[in-house]
Amino acid sequence: MHRRFNEALLAQRFAEIRDVKDLLEPYTRWNVETFTANREAVDAAKYRLLMGIEACAQVCSHLLSRLTAQPSESMPSCFLRLAEQGVLSEPLAQRLVHMARFRNLLVHRYETVDNEKVYQIICEGLGDWEAFIQSVQQFLQRERHA
């Protein structure tokens, strides 16, 4: 069964995710104290995390709408539903759920976000964005040949 995915939209979102990842990556070479003491770096990182997580969520929503004809109830649940559809592994989906929940914290309680947690996500979570892109691309490749 061939489903119609907007591959141009997906490619644009993948490029956005990778661009944000590249902008955040230099902070992984800082230590936590240097990072948290630099307000501009922290603010830039929070904004870029928002952009990257939201681009992942847009990909997720697009795929889910084409696969199930039903929108996701929330950003975190979207990733879980993609795992149910065989697009993502369960462990990757769970990590993306945590990132989506962190995005909600950034949006709704910005001033109370622990800057060390921001640093931790940058250091430990950016690889999940690339894993997400790879998983989606592999799924699309399978769909093309189905």
Predicted local confidence at residue 26, as pLDDT: 98
Predicted local confidence at residue 1, as pLDDT: 43
- Place domain 7-144 in its CATH homologous superfamily: bsu32300-like (1.20.120.580)
- Give per-residue pLDDT as tens, 64-109: 999 998 878 888 899 999 999 999 999 999 999 999 999 988 888 7
Detail the DSSP E strand segments found in the chain.
none
Q: What is the DSSP letter of 57?
A: H
Torsion-angle region of residue 74: left (phi > 0), alpha (psi -120 to 50) or beta?
beta
- Give per-residue pLDDT as tens, 15-27: 999 999 999 999 9
pTM as predicted = 0.92
